[in-house]
Structure 1
Amino acid sequence: MTTRRGFMASLLAASTLPRLSWADAGSPAYLGAAKDASGAYALIGLDDSGQALFRIALPERGHAATAHPSAPEAVAFARRPGTFALVIDCASGRLSHRLDAPEGRHFYGHGVFVAEGNVLCTPENHIESGTGRIGLWSRPEGYRRIGEIETGGIGPHDILRLEGDVLAVANGGIRTHPESGREKLNIATMRPSLTYLTPEGEILEEVVLDPDLHKNSIRHLAQGPDGTVAFAMQWQGDVMDPVPLLGLHRRGGRPRLLSADLAEQLAMEGYAGSVAMSGDGRFAAITSPRGGRVHRFDTESGACHVVRRSDVCGLAPAAEGFTATDGLGGVLRVTDGAEPLAAHEGLAWDNHLVPIHV
């Protein structure tokens, strides 16, 4: 477990770090992992028009990254169940640190910074027990691991930092074990949840779906300007059951689940790959690479606008609407329709497009 002393030590050590900004890396708007035609993997910085600003090689397939809130630094995570994460100086293109999950742990492909960017939080699986943990790493101390906390659930896939350093965690509810690869070991008894907790490990609130939706794994998170958390789900039951795949939640309230019409819900094949909220909070959207769909919902009325795009998955807010990426190298702007922004020939974008907020 961590202590307040560990956080204070990280803050003190931070005063000695050099002060670079994302402008030193070309002021990218997004980070995305991709595979090129040769089979090589890379982390790529994009501007808001979808053009590449930098490309940094990765040794294996990346899932997502987290961007430091001010320094031009990204942590790229291996695809679940990965055991390493790479800290990359995006200004120089240099690998500065490699984080290895402690024995008996693996990462889930996501992370977030708290404590003014001085502590990295990494969702992890405690393999022996199956319980979710958040690893805590001190950036000013060369990413020394300073503790861990429990998430109150199984399979903590994604994580957000909310106002006041409150953490929102998507406990997917699915137990896995590296010896079984990506096999899901507890579908009949899974219990997904959205939990809110402090970096010291105090659980502030837990949101659990109705029992008939206990197979709806809460996987990915996004937040709106008013503190609303949007969560994307992946259904582990019969894909012919048209269950909701997007939820909205405000702390202290009940979750609100949104669905498209029957045909569109079926087209999603029970799988939402990414989620984002627009900068003004008016819209929330999810993608399905399996269904080739973007579903954009009005957060007040619940009305759904559909964009069809083959193998679309990455999604992030833009100045107007959303930016999305697909497995064919495409970058597009999603508003009332889909506007192509860029085509990166030979690239296959991976699951997520990470916005850089500065």
Structure 2
Amino acid sequence: MTTRRAFLAGATAALSLPVAGWAEVGDPAFLSAARQASGAYALYGLSAGGEVRFSLPLPARGHAAAAHPHRAEAVAFARRPGFFALVIDCRDGRVLAQLDAPSGRHFYGHGVFSRDGALLFTTENDLETLEGRIGIWDAANGYARIGDIPSGGIGPHDIARLPDSDLLVIANGGIATHPDSGRMPLNSASMRGNLAYISADGALVERVELDIGLRQNSIRHLSLRADGLVAAAMQWEGSAGRFPPLLLTHRLGDAPRLLGAPEGEQRRMRNYAGSVGFSRDGQFLAITSPRGGQLHRFDAATGDFLSATAMEDVCGLAATAQGFLVTTGLGHVAQLADEPLTVTRLAGVAWDNHLIAIG
């Protein structure tokens, strides 16, 4: 059996060869899945201003994607519970590989490449134990699966890397589910999400939980600042009538910090944050709520709430040089900056939940 070390050696050799980069497909800045007017699904490449650079078909609804750090390849993940992911050559739309969830597993819709692009890590559910796992795939050898490691919790959703390292950060939402029960939580009485920092060999470096009174605040999506500060968006799964903060920040070794809006604005989020992002300079944070039709901005240093912007079904969020780019399920693409909101609309396109930055 080929060892992981041999896989890595082969991957490093392959990555040293000339490859087609993102410049060959128009230098897209972001990836996003969408539903088209025909009912078909597609993966789009968008410029920093929201213009379409390419559109490639998907066999079913997508959720998020992972962009290879060097090659013009994207891994498009099916929506949870997904059983496949497609590796797509974004130059011509060829499917280079299909990742099938191993027997007794499903994907959660997110993944991330190692720093050198040799490995792909995917968030997964073990359907027998309902514990979270992180699948490991060899990106230089047809995306062959070479193993898996614990996620450090239940319901791992988003996954990222600390900048300039291969230390993984995992948003374990804490919700146990099984495809036989749809998306219904199976552990409401005991659920507790966490942030887990895990090395690529599976060693748990740190696990961060909220106070027990907030154990049903499901940690779902991540954004990382260049200095390693982690931001996480949450979704409240607890009793109605409570409106807890839906944003936290954390740095290794520190306690988590919760960021919330004044009560009236917090209620408008309807206990659901869909995406989170730092501004390009790291000074600001934003979260979106498609259920509430709201975007909230915060000062990343002080944690102070700064503003709310209303936009129906807004979810996709990513930083640009001007501020933030956001997308909606109604097809809108908007630039949010200090100046008034600039909105365009791509007719017949319903953007899915996330804008994934390339590079």
Above 0.5 in TM-score? Answer: yes
Structure 2: 5+ residue runs without aligned partners?
none
Distance between the aligned counterparts of 1:343 and 1:175, measured in 2? Answer: 37
- Following TM superposition, by how much is the alpha carbon of 1:335 offset from its aligned partner in structure 2, in angstroms? 2.5
| Matching residue of 1:296 | 297
Alignment of 1:1-358 (within 5 A): 5=5, 8-15=8-15, 18-162=18-162, 163-304=164-305, 305-336=307-338, 339-357=341-359
**Using the alignment, how far apart are the partners of 1:103 and 1:4 within structure 2?**
21
- Assess, with a 3 A threshold, how the Cα gap between structure 1 residues 6 and 129 changes in structure 2: closer, same or farther: farther
TM-score after normalising by structure 1: 0.96
TM-score using structure 2 length: 0.96
Percent same amino acid at aligned positions? 56
Q: Give distance in 1, aligned partners of 2:13 and 2:182.
A: 39
1:18 Cα offset (Å): 4.7
Change (3 A) 1:300 1:3: farther
Q: 2 CA distance for matches of 1:336 and 1:267?
A: 22
**What is the alpha-carbon distance in structure 2 between the residues aligned to residue 297 and residue 4 of structure 1?**
43
Asked whether the 8 Å contact 2:12–2:118 carries over to 1, the reply is no
Q: Structure 1 unaligned segments of length 5 or more: list them.
A: none
Q: Which amino acid aligns with 1:311?
A: D
CA contact (8 A) 2:269 2:291 kept: yes
Give the CA deviation at 1:179.
0.9
Which letter maps to 1:292? Answer: G
Cα distance per residue 1:198-251 (max 9 Å; x no partner)? 110011111010000000000000011211000000000134211000000011
Query: How many matched pairs?
Result: 356
Is 1:171–1:195's contact at 8 Å kept on the other side of the alignment?
Answer: yes
Tell me the SS of whatever aligns to 1:307: strand
Report SS of the residue matched to 1:296: strand
Report which stretch shifted further, 256-265 or 296-305.
296-305
* Cα-to-partner distance string for 1:72-108 (whole Å, 9 max, x where unaligned): 1100000000000000000111111110000000000
CA contact (8 A) 2:11 2:141 kept: no
- The answer to whether the 8 Å contact 2:32/2:43 transfers is yes
Query: Secondary structure in 2 aligned to 1:109?
Result: strand
Q: Tell me how far apart the structure 1 counterparts of residues 6 and 265 of structure 2 sit (CA, whole Å).
A: 49
What amino acid is aligned across from residue 228 of structure 1 in structure 2? L
Letter in 1 for 2:302: S
Q: Secondary structure at 1:96's aligned position in 2?
A: strand
Cα deviation, residue 6, structure 1: 5.2
Range moving further from structure 2, 107-116 or 15-24? 15-24
Aligned residues of 1:10 and 1:139 also touching (Cα < 8 A): no
Please tell me whether the aligned partners of residues 50 and 341 of structure 1 are also in contact (alpha carbons under 8 angstroms): no
Structure 1 residue 115 displacement after superposition: 4.6
CA spacing shift, 1:179–1:46, aligned 2, 3 Å = same
Which region of structure 1 is more displaced relative to structure 2, 92-101 or 335-344?
335-344
TM-superposed CA distance for 1:340, in Å, is: 2.4
Which 10-residue stretch deviates more, 175-184 or 338-347? 338-347
Moved over 6 A (4+): none
Give the whole-Å Cα distance in 2 for the aligned partners of 1:77 and 1:242: 31
**1:308, distance to aligned residue in structure 2 (A):** 0.6
SS of residue matched to 1:85 = strand
Q: Is the contact made by 1:7 and 1:119 (CA closer than 8 Å) also made in structure 2?
A: no
Structure 2 residue identity aligned to 1:295: H
Matched residue type, 1:297:
F
Post-superposition offset of 1:336: 3.8
- CA deviations 1:158-178 (Å, max 9, x no partner) are 000113210000000000011
The CA deviation at 1:13 is 4.9
Write the distance in 1 (CA, Å) between the matches of 2:156 and 2:10. Answer: 25
Aligned partners of 1:51 and 1:342 also within 8 Å: no
CA distance in 2, matches of 1:16, 1:160: 24
